[in-house]
Amino acid sequence: MDQRQRRILGQPLSIPTSQPKQKRTSMISFFSKVSWKLRFQKREPLKNVFFILAERARDPSAKKRHMAMRNLGTMAYEAPDKVRKYKKIVLDLLVYGLYDPVNLEVIHESMKTLTVVLGKIQGKGLGSFFIDITLQTRTLLDDENDSLRYSAFVLFGQLAAFAGRKWKKFFTSQVKQTRDSLLIHLQDRNPQVAKLDLKWHSENEELNFLL
């Protein structure tokens, strides 16, 4: 990749402000995905990619933080073997986004990407990240935002599947604290959330006695 290409990929895109916000966001998302695919195709050293993502994940701009989470999702799809190899770095960035203090879009994108990443690594080698992810996901089961709540139930279902022997006691304690939510959301106003909650109950019968 020559200097001009690097400069283009590293700079934010200039998009006319007269376009609707949703359309501009979609275009930014599209070009961002193209940019990261080019990085993989050009085999740019992964340490450089992670360095860039780490900077963006902690950027004061919520848009850049959100894009960092989305780019991690692209990486999980495009290079799952690399994600498995560098899972501690990836998980650290995603958990950081999951606890974003001000922006729900960053949190939501982090949850969606975590769902993909956990699937790629089959929940192996999570370590203490399992606790961090579970604690925050549990609180989001009651969020007012339907999409966020839906993603939280998807991720919570994955955590139940990957708790294993090591984290079973901890996860069971979290289910006890979440019993009211798990029962209430069986009649969630969002049919998709209610369906997911019912699925959670059917797939985790051994935990149902806690409710």
pLDDT tens for the chain, residues 1 to 211: 444 333 333 443 333 344 454 544 444 444 455 454 545 555 557 778 888 888 999 999 999 999 999 999 988 888 888 888 889 999 999 999 999 999 999 999 999 999 999 999 998 889 999 999 999 999 999 999 999 999 999 999 999 999 988 898 999 999 989 888 889 999 999 999 999 999 888 887 766 545 4
The tokens of 72 are what?
């991690």
Q: How many CB atoms lie within 10 A of CB 75?
A: 25
Residue 12 confidence (pLDDT) = 39
Q: Which residue, among 101, 100, 56, has the nearest Cα to 75 in the 3D structure?
A: 56
Q: Which residue, among 67, 70, 79, 73, has the nearest Cα to 39 in the 3D structure?
A: 79
**pTM listed for this prediction:** 0.76
Cα dihedral sign for 26, 28, 31, 32?
A: negative
Phi then psi for residue 102, to 5 deg, are -130, -20
Contact partners, residue 22, CB within 8 Å, separation at least 6? none
